[in-house]
Copies of this chain bind each other. A is one copy, B any other.
Amino acid sequence: MQFYQDGYRPGDPDIRPAAPGRRAPGTFPEQVDVLIAGTGPAGSVLAAQLAEFPDISTLVVERREAALELGHADGVACRTVEMFNGFGLAERLMREAYWVNETSFWGPDSADGIARTGRIQDVADGLSEYPHVIVNQARMQDLLLEHMANSPSRLVPDYGLELIDVSVAETGDHPVTATLRRTGAEPGADITVAAKYAVGCEGARSNVRRSLGIKMQGDARNHAWGVMDMLAVTDFPDIRLKSAIQSASGGSILLIPREGGYLVRLYVDLGDIDPGDREARGRFTADSVIEAAQKILHPYTLDVKEIAWWSVYEVGQRIAERFDDVLPEDRGTRTPRVFIAGDACHTHSAKAGQGMNVSMQDGFNLGWKLAAVLQGRSPEALLDTYSEERQVIAQELIDFDLKWSTAMAAKPKDPANPDAGGMDAAERQGIFTQGGRFTAGFATDYRPGMITGEGTHEHLASGFPVGERFHSSPVIRLADAKPLQLGHQALADGRWRIYVFADAARPDAADSRLAALCTFLAEAPSSPVCSFTPAGVDDDAVFDVRAVLQQHHRDVEPGDVPAFLLPRRAPLGLIDYEKVFTADAANDIFAARGIDRELGAIVVVRPDQYVAHVLPLDAHAELAAFFAGIMRAPALV
């Protein structure tokens, strides 16, 4: 954590100084930069990201009267924990959450009961330095809301306000008009807000989506699952392990242990329901869900002491035909003004634990782009990449979920009658293992385009595939010899990261390519740093350049590295010593991530932690060209 750069101040460093010019308490804006509807996972991440920028006015409306307290999703993929680290929340999340260390599989035994068929490590070694965890969606949102409230813009949602519809004018600075309505007993007159951009994060029944006339495509719902968070007493031995259980009768349970050591969630298969039967859901009761669970768990007992939350969940695999207000035929001719994110764009089963995670990544993908465009750092075309990128991901999710939920719901193969279909335990466990990268959140691989380079130079850093998330690895910080994770130094602050993995030469040697690159970045008129960093802000306000050396940390001193890597901080001119790292001999990042030791490499990472480009250290012109397509020269003041 870095703080006090603008002077010492007492108190909690996570509560950052409030910026001036915020909305006065008790007032309501007529006009904002961004309107966000909904504080679910998508909306909370998006709002937390925009809260970083107090010069952007953001209005967050939420239909509920207060923050969510119960239920909904609970699976937190490793990738989401990585993102939470960007908001400074990973430690708290990990402390409080259940950790999914192993997953067990149960199938019918030879008698009338169930028996364990396998038990495997949940997340493969080396996939992430963070665990797969489980915690109530409400707590995930709480942490993000707290972060927003402590951010420079002190952003808090406006509860009890429903977005009714949006429309987009063809011209104007604030072309989006949104109609809002109070949800209380006396809603009063509708409220109109004008916005530069609006984002519908209102979940599966999005009014923004409806206003834009965007259709959902895909399967109707026809399979019902009871989901129940309970405090229970059982003799089922794996009650504290994530367990996929299939009984002989064909019923199945996905058992998810929960935070705190006592709570457990069961997803209980309630069988197919007629898609036309709108009353079907209402016929299930808590007792019927428990009874179904007890039957599946037999001969083990389940004595439910308290139901914390329950619901019947029946969702097919559906995806929105578009993720913004630009019709396919208009793409490129106008800038998108309204977006949808999260369940508003894609719904699917809860089985692979993706709902909250993918929705949060939607918000994370969109947040920095909106900020960059609103702050004039990037052209409006950047906003087209949101739909471009996330629609592919959503489609992959839908496809994966179909395969996955089919496997989870498949009847066990009958050994006496193998041709009658069904799935045996080994096959199901195999699908689980294969899907590990996906469920952990690491299957995202953005394609080459405006913000993702071609993988031409990928061999220089083969462990950082272009388009995938930047996979952290341990390093030693030069100035204070602290062992830390390189990736964890990147905050969700909207900045681009340029990681400079040094060539073999010492940084103070005449032939150091690292030094040459720093000279280019610091001085060349064509350097992205010089071209796109406005006057009057810190040198690293737009590009956060960090270097990793190959020398032992005791063999180099801060004075040996280019001054560019020791930037000064306004207003006091203090030196930032946290830009330079060395490989940790015990866990060498050059080896772990396949970085060319002779040549080194530049690894460009987007503000949302995805690798945008890998380049040779001397590819100065290519680096400049890449950013020329993404960034905008600051307006002269």
Contacts and interface: CB of A to CB of B under 8 A. Distances in A.
Interface in A69-87: 69-70
A257 interface: yes
A101 B481 contact: yes
Given A231-B572, A483-B101, A572-B231, A95 B1 contact: yes
Interface in A528-578: 554, 557-559, 569, 572-578
A237 interface: yes
B480 A98 contact: yes
- Interface SS majority for chain A: loop
A262 B5 CA distance: 6
Interface stretch (A9-17, A174-182, A341-349, A464-472): A9-17
Oligomer copy total: 2
Interface in A137-177: 138-139, 142
Nearest to A309: B8
Given A237-B559, A574-B305, A480 B11 contact: no
Interface in A259-313: 259-263, 305-306, 308-309
- Tier of interface size on chain A: 35 or more
Nearest to A554: B119
A569 B305 CA distance: 12
Given A8-B306, A305-B572, A557-B237, A259 B1 contact: yes
Interface string A571-589: 0111111100000000000
A2 B239 contact: no
A480 B13 contact: no
B237 A558 contact: yes
A622 interface: no
A240 interface: yes
Contacts of A554: 119
A4 B263 contact: yes
A142 B229 contact: no
A260 B91 contact: no
Residue from A99, A241, A480, A573 whose CB has the most chain B CB atoms within 10 Å: A480
A290 to B, nearest CB: 15
A432 to B, nearest CB: 16
Contacts of A557: 237
